[in-house]
Chain A
Amino acid sequence: MASSSDVPAIETRALTKRYGDVVAVDRLDLVVPTGSVVALLGPNGAGKTTTVRMIATLVRPTSGTATVGGRDVVAEGDAVRRQISLTGQFAALDPNLTGRENLRLVAALRGHDRATARRVADALVERFDGAEFADRTIGKVSGGQRRRMDLAASLVHQPSLLVLDEPTTGLDPRSRQIVWGTVRELVADGVTLLLTTQYLDEADALADRIVLIDHGRQVAAGTAAELKRTVGAQRIDVVAVDAAGLETLRSRLSERYEVSVSPELRMLSIPAPAEVDDLAGVTDAVAATGVSVDELALRRPSLDDAFLALTGRPPARDEADEPVPAAEAA
């Protein structure tokens, strides 16, 4: 294995791609340590795909450098291609071949003889639970099945580094879960993963580290928790049924908590650094007042909030994190 753990799986320095006057990727510094999962998160057109295509040697950088396992993507393209596996946004399979035939072809092109290629393909079909559709031509299977075969094709040579470009865009929820499950298994096996996504929940669910990019530039980077923290702390919201109740709550709770009130919402907010422990305390305190409340919930700032705060734009999909379920009434 070429890369020892002190050489990052991917490292870019001031990586830039210009198309005429348009700067698709702008001096991006990105490090993906070996064994980690990094998500490149950004809206459509942020430069995610261009970035991974440069890393996978499909697009030549205008300036800056990118290395994969210490090998330069421009000067040592073949060495990079031997380590990396890219699964693109659109299934890169021959639609007129079956899934199994596609896998065999990729295995053969990777240098396996006919018998080995056959064995590798069969093993992958089994692994991806594809027996039922692997012998249908790719053009005739569902989007989720195609994506699974595509992912399988990327695993023919058991890559130590996998790059997934928007792996679940356009997939139905069930296929999405299957792809996520496969990705988690791979990560558990020690595969280093760089994925791009415009879905916050996907980055949240899969990645150790999230790099937020917009207009080809890095806007923020950190764990999901760190990014959420940039927008503010978690809090507990209590909604009273009427104004009188709200006033009672305010006077009683402000003895113990730092309370802020939004009268027009009949809502009162309390910072909750200890999260669930605070929630229990507040719930008891509210119950002790005997006031009826409509809602009592712990709210964490969502990645959506972070996204909005950092890019000035709402995320691609309007799917805000649900509040953590809490006691409904006291």
Chain B
Amino acid sequence: MQLASPTRPGVAREVRETLLLAGRSLRTIPRVPERLLDVTIQPVVFIVLFLYVLGSAVHVPGMSYTDFLLPGVIAQQIAFSVIGAGTATAVDMHEGVVDRFRSLPIARLSVLTGQVLGQFCEALLGVIVVAGLGFALGWSPDMSFGDVVVAITLVLFTLFAFMWAGIVLGLSFRSPDAVQGVGFTIMLPLTFMAGTFVPIAGMALVPRTIAEWNPISPLVAALRELTGGPHSAGGSWPLDHPIAGAFIWSTILLAVCIPVALARFRKLTDG
């Protein structure tokens, strides 16, 4: 009683499955509003806190604090998407819904790519919300058309890379709570030691050194430079060349995380 079966060849089949699975992930957003709060309320809190509470004590040469802060918050938002993607992955593994997908005659890679694409769209939505809020609060980036293209490309590429890091995180810990805990413990200090809210130059030696080589720092610096800030004055190669640095860091992240994610997924598959 086999039904006419779905063996369209290779890539077309995989793309279709990826879109279906990503669609599943996106469709649930309105059902779980907390998930969207994670990617909206949190950055709002940071913006308000720094702009109106702590920011008055921060002196940034050559630009307004709002213009300094917004690229930082956007970068932080991108970095935090690791936690969202990781949690969603852990929840799926936990719920057994992945078992269902894996017992279907679909490409196993589609399960991962569907997850990445779904989470990517969700995280992008968060970035857009943050940027929108920034504009509303007086952020006025000064950009050429070329800057806009580079900035958008950079955001998309970095987000894609961080998604895969999130998948690795989600496949590495059993419970969604553990993913959240570990994720925040790593990402929160890392996003602070990246020139996000205050200039790196004023930091003490240890955090400054971390900041100089932190993968988030060149992203912050690149976005700041592309939105009209002064050229970042480094201390390290990635900070001297923030746009190249950010692309390189993301490429490294992808080169490491994709094979690790596949291996971990296969390992979980084979028990």
Contacts and interface: CB of A to CB of B under 8 A. Distances in A.
Interface of A: 1-2, 17, 19, 50, 53, 56-60, 78, 81-86, 88, 90-97, 101, 105-106, 108-112, 137, 153, 157-158, 160
B95 to A, nearest CB: 6
B20 A58 contact: no
Nearest to A101: B27
For chain B, the bracket of interface size reads: 20 to 34
B177 interface: no
Contacts of B101: 109
Nearest to B31: A96
B208 interface: no
Interface of A, secondary structure class, is loop
B227 to A, nearest CB: 36
B62 interface: no
A109 B27 contact: no
Contact of A109 (B2, B20, B32, B99): B20
Given A81-B103, A84-B103, A160-B1, A59 B28 contact: no
A78 B105 contact: yes
Interface in B149-177: none
Interface in B7-28: 7-8, 17, 20-21, 24, 27-28
B271 A60 contact: yes
Interface of B: 1-8, 17, 20-21, 24, 27-28, 31-32, 95-106, 269-271
Contact of A1 (B2, B98, B106, B270): B2
A110 B99 CA distance: 15
10 contacts: A59-B271, A84-B103, A94-B24, A94-B95, A97-B31, A109-B21, A110-B3, A110-B105, A111-B6, A112-B3
Contacts of B99: 58, 86, 88, 92
Given A50-B271, A88-B96, A91-B96, A158 B103 contact: no
Contact of B3 (A19, A85, A86, A158): A158
B102 A58 contact: yes
B271 A53 contact: yes
Given A83-B2, A91-B96, 12 more contacts: A58-B103, A59-B269, A60-B269, A81-B105, A92-B95, A92-B96, A93-B97, A95-B97, A101-B27, A109-B20, A109-B104, A110-B104
Interface centre among A2, A19, A109, A112 (most CB of B within 10 A): A109
Nearest to A153: B100
Contacts of B271: 17, 19, 50, 53, 58-60
Contacts of A58: 99, 102-103, 269, 271
A90 B96 contact: yes
B201 to A, nearest CB: 46
Nearest to B8: A111
B108 to A, nearest CB: 9
B2 A96 contact: no
A134 to B, nearest CB: 16
